[in-house]
Structure 1
Amino acid sequence: MHDKTDQHDVLLERRGTAGIIRLNRARALNSLTLDMVRTVAAALDAFAADPAVATVVVMGEGERGFCAGGDIRALHESGRTGTPLAENFWRDEFRLNHRIATYEKPYVALMDGITMGGGVGLSSHGRHRVVTERTRFAMPETGIGYFPDVGATWLLAHAPAEIGTWMGLTGLEVGPADVIHAGLADVQVASFQLPELIETLAELPRGAVSRDVDSVLKNLGTDPGKGPLRTNHDVIERTFRLNSVRAIAEALHADGSDFADKTLHAMSTRSPTSLVLTLRLLREGKQSRSLAECLRREFSACLQILKSPDFYEGIRAAVIDKDRNPSWSPARLDEVKAETIDAFFQPVDIPLSL
């Protein structure tokens, strides 16, 4: 039985016992709008309440990406004009991230192609995370004057051997092997086998549980091999365990390996304020008791980011003028003031309801 509902930017379908959610902004790499976040949240509630639905599958339309993140152009405009859209988007997105992490039915995310920012929030919090040979995974926010959000300060902080710190500070893309190594995905399935995976999930009986899905994924899974982050495990652990961005940079410089040099170069192009903020958020995330605690902290930081010049400059350079040449303020790590960073950690009165 195939029941389809066309919500334009999100397509909903019930195929057999599978509830399928398809992000449908392929030309925009399925980047999320507020309406899309709300549609996905409503679909999860409906599928959870439907006894005929055993599993939920979330995927992106098109072959280029699962989801490239939030619609940062809209967030930029909202911050500039003082509308509530940015605040509403983050609040509803973070609630959705928490819903996914605590979802009562098997939740399967197909991280095929580009999976970044908000796409990580839709996938890596889920119970069953599937990558393919085409997966390009990143939390690139320090490159736009922002910070890893959507609960990434929980996810990255708990990745092994400071790999999450490397991901959060550099913002660089990683492939499927390293996504699995970081604990942010579970299994690799060849992209051409995704239709078979969906059909097999749709044939599971009502009341199927996570171990049934695990069995399906194990049967279709392939060996992703060993990625560069795993290969450079010791370098990352030795340098990124330090507790200041400057100390990390100095350790990378002293290491002198090709990997360390490339890492240092990437960090040198990022917003200094974002680097310092991100490292503190990750360190606090590691000490936090729950994802919800991290999401609340991130939400407070989001409201402060709307007052940060680097947020607007980073988005201008990346998606508006597209000159890829942001002018950060301040431009140097040693010019980032402690009180500037402290302002991101002020509790806000608006409840996140997590």
Structure 2
Amino acid sequence: MPDKQKQIQLVSRPNGTPVESDFHYKEIDVPRPDQGQVLVKTLYLSVDPYMRGRMSDAKSYVEPFKLNEALAGGVVGEIVDSQSEHFKKGDFVVGMLPWQEYSLASENAVRAIDPDVAPISTHLSILGMTGLTAYFGLLDIGQPKEGETVVVSGAAGAVGSAVGQIAKIKGARVVGIAGSDEKVNYLKETLGFDEAINYKTGNIQESLEAACPDGIDVYFENVGGEIGDAALSLLNKHARVPVCGAISSYNKTEEDLGPRVQSRLIKTSALMKGFVVNDYNDRFKEGASDLGKWLSEGKLQYEETITEGLDNVTEAFLGLFEGKNLGKQLVKVAEPGN
């Protein structure tokens, strides 16, 4: 066990798009667990768009990251030292832990995972928070019905790709919006979307109208901006709009303005509802069960973009805002057992 480790801290609040100088790699001691605690070696960590909001000090649904302290997020790790009756050395766990090589955690702050069910990384992707976000946002708010048209923005990302596949399982016609021809081909040829649009080529409004001749019954919002404006203009009567994200505005320094939505919602009697996955904490077991079943049956596929090394965490995070990832963006920090 090493005595020292690297930790990634937030040292300044970004103005617009974050830059490398907003982060600092610091050498700290590797802690040792007390009674009821475990020491977790980070194997994979998750970088997610919502983290950009936590880098600001504006009031939100989650507490901002503190300056000169470690950032934190979803981590899959291996227990390398245990003072807990519930965990032993060699167990694999998942939890919300700091961006560093080794983390001290309470036995109640991590959850055991079975490496034989699926690769351990999936507990940060299709079987983790992103899969659960797609599951509850689509099924609880979107409520797709057989034959309806479901449109997903950010469709090649971790959440969007799961949303589209779950909608297909429920018998819907699915249209995905992504940012490259490669991603469009992936959505149609690999994931079985009925149609997909590259928003960077052509007119998004015209492309969406052509792809949705019967209008839109469910629009799963991950992006916002002009893409969201175009989708909202095509809502059918009693359409549903789960609002999961608005990544197009996360790095804006000015107010994000667009068409007013009230009249459209009134005219269509549509429902538009924002949510975060923690709204469904008491139903996680239900969602995980269904996702695991569909995965084992071959009804769900997933893609993970894995960046190697703790030194490249910030690069992987910043790449989210350029659409560099296909599926879930993860960082592999270490191999198990070493």
Pairwise TM-score range, normalised by the shorter structure: under 0.3
Structure number having the greater helix percentage = 1
Q: Which TM-score applies when normalising by structure 2?
A: 0.26
Greater percentage in strand: 2
TM-score with structure 1 setting the length = 0.25
